[in-house]
A = this chain, B = another copy of it.
């Protein structure tokens, strides 16, 4: 009897650069984060470029130091907040204004031996890959992954292959608009999903109707208690989610949409309101067929997704 974990396991170094933290870990070819290998460091808009760089170096170095002696590092996958320049490996995260066209791929590559492939994609695409690989979207070839949190992002797998576009920025579902919504968006658009249904935007709308809380958690508690304004706020954001999903399904004929991120947990009813908005597209069975489900991977999704850029390279395009 053999144990595959004792046979020079193939590991990926996964790096996830987000708006509040950067994380790294080693991930197996079964999509499991190897215990004891995960490291994180804060990021955010207040940090200098040198501090962000040091944070990335720190988590990558610490994680690489945990590489088992008998393991093989077969590649590095990096998921980053967007926009990105996939061809050149550059990142310009909206809420890290000191980084514009920052060469994150090459920076991380300096830590690993020459010849180890390093792949960078948007974090929304990485999460979608994770859900397709070992999460809620297994078995479907037409998938959108979504994160509803401080922003709203996503990624696409169509006909069984990732769609990232010529620049790597496909999947920006947060900037698909919702008819009938006038909310101005920081991108310049009107009624963009992110401007309506992100956690902070939902809370801000509720506050304008008299809600006195300040966080998504407080809004969730008020919703659970039946507070009228909180219910209206969650309904409104759920409806916008459904409208944007219907639009995306009209355009790319999706089978399943897997939604995660902190604010997606405000209430299970958020999903129900989204589904109701989709159901109204009664003329189009190909739209109403889309399934809207919670992600299957919780907090591990982004790192498993970054690792999927290595372990599931056959799905990439």
Instruction: Give the B-binding residues of A (Cβ under 8 A).
Output: 83, 94, 141-142, 156, 158-159, 161, 163-183, 186-192, 243-244, 246-248, 250-255, 280-287, 289, 317
Query: How many angstroms between the C-alpha atoms of A177 and B161 in the bound complex?
Result: 26
- Of the residues B172, B250, B287, contact of A250 by C-beta under 8 Å: B172
Given contacts A179-B192, A188-B284, 18 further A-B contacts (CB under 8 A): A83-B284, A83-B285, A94-B283, A142-B166, A158-B158, A158-B170, A159-B165, A167-B253, A169-B250, A170-B251, A174-B250, A175-B250, A177-B178, A179-B182, A188-B281, A188-B282, A189-B247, A251-B252
Which residue of chain B has its CB nearest to the CB of A168? B253
Q: Chain A at the B interface: mostly helix, strand, loop or mixed?
A: loop
Q: Is the CB of B251 within 8 A of A248?
A: yes
Q: Is the CB of B167 within 8 A of A163?
A: no
- In the complex, the count of this chain's copies comes to 2
A229 CB → nearest B CB, Å: 23
Chain B residues contacting A251 (CB-CB under 8 Å) are 156, 170-173, 176, 248, 251-252
Q: Is the CB of B252 within 8 A of A176?
A: no
- Of the residues B142, B165, B281, contact of A189 by C-beta under 8 Å: B281
Would A190 and B180 be within 8 Å (CB), given that A159-B163, A253-B165 are in contact? yes
Chain B residues contacting A183 (CB-CB under 8 Å) are 179
Chain B residues contacting A159 (CB-CB under 8 Å) are 161, 163, 165, 317
Q: Is the CB of A179 within 8 A of B190?
A: yes
A213 CB → nearest B CB, Å: 27
Which residue of chain B has its CB nearest to the CB of A255? B166
Chain B residues contacting A161 (CB-CB under 8 Å) are 159
Q: Is the CB of A187 within 8 A of B283?
A: yes
Query: How many angstroms between the C-alpha atoms of A173 and B173 in the bound complex?
Result: 15
Chain B residues contacting A254 (CB-CB under 8 Å) are 165
A203 CB → nearest B CB, Å: 20
